Chain A
């Protein structure tokens, strides 16, 4: 058996405030029923003005670290599309925030595929002996890049963070990370993008008010998201000599209920074996897969030994999938007053 990264603990943090569909309907032409039936989302998590992405990440990491008893963590990776600042990365701030000053730390920007890209990176660092234990955090404050009047994005995205610790272990253990299939297509960069404020299009006084915020081409994103996730899942399963019958739970990036349903349908996985965890929080982008895993662990849906198929699609365009066996994790009751909502 080969040395690889093994999931040791998980955790998450959701800010307290929720923006309900009725609140959205006060500023745009929509309704609770319209949003709920089309997205599966009733409310989205909204961080406070005093909560940055790093604050969300630190709290999620603290939750994961409460139950961690392995070797010293030497690397911190933060997957985010909404860093605290353009420079520096958010990861050093999170590392210091959880007492890991001195650890190697860096961000990964692969939008909603960020967690899978981080998982692949963490596994590589550990397999090559460059790391003994990695804290991988998916943290997003999407409300900072949402144009509040955009019906295409404002109902979808939520704020939140989730974290896991991966430590060196054996490829045959439950929780071991194997091949993570990642892909991208830069010709599809305009499926979802924030135009203004980067090197290509610096901010301008006369810019469109939507320019510093996310734009999403809904039709094309839907088409490519379903196709890429289905194809990559099939590839990941085939490589393992598995079929969808071997999958206990599909944990796809929580983009939108109908995308989740469509991916499950195309793969031939009954919808009840597909994790849906966005109704009360929205799509938390790079945090959505570890968020779903942590909440499923906390809620008792995951108890260990389940075969999981993880998949994501994000801006870039980027996508990925991997298969893993969920480990039996310690599930101590959160110690800080139930803050891990």
Chain B
């Protein structure tokens, strides 16, 4: 499974009410910034990342929390974590 920018946008859309963000006029692009383009503060960003952690059953390490300024970077990091988890599970099986 590889998550695309579209997938991450769909996830964001799913909790946009809870995060109080308006995605109406936002173009689906990898370089959309969570803070500058979507107006999300650090708490809303963390709420979104926790939502992704729970949905994709991964845990984002502390030192990677700040590597995700854009939707594309979020997709990249979550993909890396999902792949690392799958490879670990494969090794154990």
| A residues lining the B interface (CB < 8 Å) | 34, 37-39, 152, 188, 217-223, 256, 258-259
Contacts and interface: CB of A to CB of B under 8 A. Distances in A.
Given A34-B39, A38-B41, A218 B20 contact: no
Contact of A218 (B39, B42, B50, B62): B42
Interface of A is mostly: helix
Contacts of A218: 41-43, 45-46
A37 B20 contact: yes
Given A38-B44, A219-B65, A223-B50, 16 more contacts: A37-B20, A38-B41, A39-B41, A152-B42, A217-B42, A218-B42, A218-B45, A219-B43, A219-B45, A219-B49, A219-B66, A220-B66, A221-B42, A222-B42, A222-B43, A256-B43
Interface string B40-67: 0111111001100000000000100110
A222 B46 contact: yes
Interface of B is mostly: helix
A259 B46 CA distance: 12
A152 B66 CA distance: 14
A239 B50 CA distance: 30
Interface centre among B39, B41, B50, B65 (most CB of A within 10 A): B41
Given A37-B20, A223-B50, A217 B66 contact: yes
Interface string B62-76: 100110000000000
19 contacts: A152-B42, A217-B42, A217-B65, A218-B41, A218-B42, A218-B43, A219-B42, A219-B43, A219-B45, A219-B46, A219-B65, A219-B66, A220-B62, A221-B42, A222-B42, A222-B43, A222-B46, A223-B50, A258-B43
A38 B65 contact: no
The 4 closest A-B pairs by CB, nearest first: A218-B42, A219-B46, A38-B41, A219-B65
Q: How large is the interface on B (under 10, 10 to 19, 20 to 34, 35 or more residues)?
A: 10 to 19
Contacts of B49: 219
Nearest to B20: A37
Nearest to B63: A220
Contacts of B41: 38-39, 218
Contacts of B43: 38, 218-219, 222, 256, 258-259
Contacts of B20: 37
A258 B43 CA distance: 8
Interface centre among B43, B44, B45 (most CB of A within 10 A): B43
Contacts of B46: 218-220, 222-223
A221 B61 CA distance: 13
Contacts of A259: 43
Interface in B21-41: 39, 41
Contacts of B65: 217, 219-220, 223
A280 B74 CA distance: 35
Nearest to A39: B41
Contacts of B62: 188, 220
Interface centre among A152, A219, A258 (most CB of B within 10 A): A219
